[in-house]
């Protein structure tokens, strides 16, 4: 706990952490304004029409793959790569804690900050949503044939946010791995963004190369991509007829386990500090 408290204190002493939180309301206002403008061309009650009830989901689905992944990336790179490469981490490493404890403490600290961020985003989305949109008893979420509203809409939103956080857990271990192995913060950021970009482009490329296949390619192949799970997989899993929930959960677990194990092995390597 002391190690986590120490990591927590250091992360919150950085201006960048506060800046990321300060950006939240601005981000929310911009997103609200965007969807407000988009509503002009859509009839109320139609699929795609944004209301106060579904704005939190719309706002998150828009920013999960970009903003949230980026925030996670910055926090891990500052906490791991920068501290290690500048030598700041030595001050902690020569204390009576194992390298495993240190890595786990850093991960828990950053994910705790992400829980805060996630929660604040959820609350702000209702606040800002109230400024731009009216409530509606009938609204459509993605992959819903029938409209829902009220309590079921809130339940859907909470489940969406929960699954979104699970995808961030998987992404966090991927980022931890790159943060541990990279020689500089620039490399860590570059390599991670490159990986996410490939992950984003993969479904598009797959679709191009498998167009016209008969029978068509199993949809599961598309959801090997982390970003595809973030942009579409959550909605698919929470649809009126849930699809690929177990498969996508399995993919997330494999990413988390594989990159998490690799990060652990590299961080605790015997002669890492030779």
Task: List contacts with another protein (CB under 8 A).
Answer: 2-3, 5-6, 9-10, 13-15, 86-88, 90-98, 270-274
If the CB atoms of residues 30 and 265 are measured against another protein, the closer one turns out to be 265
Q: How far apart (Å, rounded) are the C-alpha atoms in residues 43 and 41?
A: 7
Burial class of residue 212, CB neighbours in 10 A (0-12, 13-18, 19+): exposed
- Per the CB < 8 A criterion, the answer to whether 99 and 267 are in contact is yes
Q: How far apart (Å, rounded) are the C-alpha atoms in residues 121 and 161?
A: 10
If the CB atoms of residues 213 and 274 are measured against another protein, the closer one turns out to be 274
Q: Buried b / exposed e across 22-32, counting CB within 10 Å, b at 16+?
A: eebeebbeebb
Shortest Å, Cβ 264 to another protein = 17
Shortest Å, Cβ 110 to another protein = 16
If the CB atoms of residues 84 and 160 are measured against another protein, the closer one turns out to be 84
Shortest Å, Cβ 2 to another protein = 5
Shortest Å, Cβ 102 to another protein = 10
Shortest Å, Cβ 183 to another protein = 17
If the CB atoms of residues 74 and 252 are measured against another protein, the closer one turns out to be 74
Among all chains, which residue has been given the structure tokens 């786990």?
Answer: 104
Give 139's strand partners.
148
If the CB atoms of residues 40 and 271 are measured against another protein, the closer one turns out to be 271
C-alpha Rg value of the chain to the nearest Å: 20
If the CB atoms of residues 19 and 42 are measured against another protein, the closer one turns out to be 19
Shortest Å, Cβ 3 to another protein = 7
Among all chains, which residue has been given the structure tokens 């609350």?
Answer: 123
Distance (Å) of CA 228 to CA 140, 222, 241 = 21, 7, 19
């Amino acid at each position: 706990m002391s190690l986590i408290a120490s990591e927590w204190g250091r992360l919150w002493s950085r201006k960048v952490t506060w800046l990321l939180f300060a950006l939240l309301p601005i981000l929310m206002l911009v997103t609200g304004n965007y969807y407000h403008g988009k509503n002009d061309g859509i009839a109320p009650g139609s699929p795609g029409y944004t209301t106060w009830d579904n704005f939190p989901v719309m706002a998150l689905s828009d920013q999960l793959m970009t903003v949230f992944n980026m925030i996670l990336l910055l926090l891990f790179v500052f906490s791991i790569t920068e501290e290690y490469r500048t030598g700041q981490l030595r001050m902690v490493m020569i204390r009576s804690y194992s390298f495993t404890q240190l890595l786990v403490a850093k991960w828990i600290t950053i994910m705790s900050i992400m829980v805060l961020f996630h929660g604040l985003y959820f609350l702000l989305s209702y606040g800002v949503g109230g400024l731009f949109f009216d409530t509606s008893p009938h609204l459509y979420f993605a992959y819903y044939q029938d409209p829902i509203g009220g309590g079921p809409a809130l339940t859907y939103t909470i489940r969406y946010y929960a699954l979104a956080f699970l995808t961030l857990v998987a992404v966090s271990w991927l980022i931890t791995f790159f943060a541990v192995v990279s020689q500089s913060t620039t490399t860590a950021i570059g390599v991670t963004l490159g990986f996410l970009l490939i992950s984003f482009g993969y479904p598009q490329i797959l679709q191009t190369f498998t167009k016209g296949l008969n029978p068509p390619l199993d949809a599961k192949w598309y959801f090997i991509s982390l970003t595809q799970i973030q942009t579409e997989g959550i909605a698919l899993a929470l649809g009126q007829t849930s699809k690929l929930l177990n498969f996508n959960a399995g993919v997330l677990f494999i990413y988390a386990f594989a990159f998490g194990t690799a990060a652990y092995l590299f961080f605790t390597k015997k002669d890492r500090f030779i």
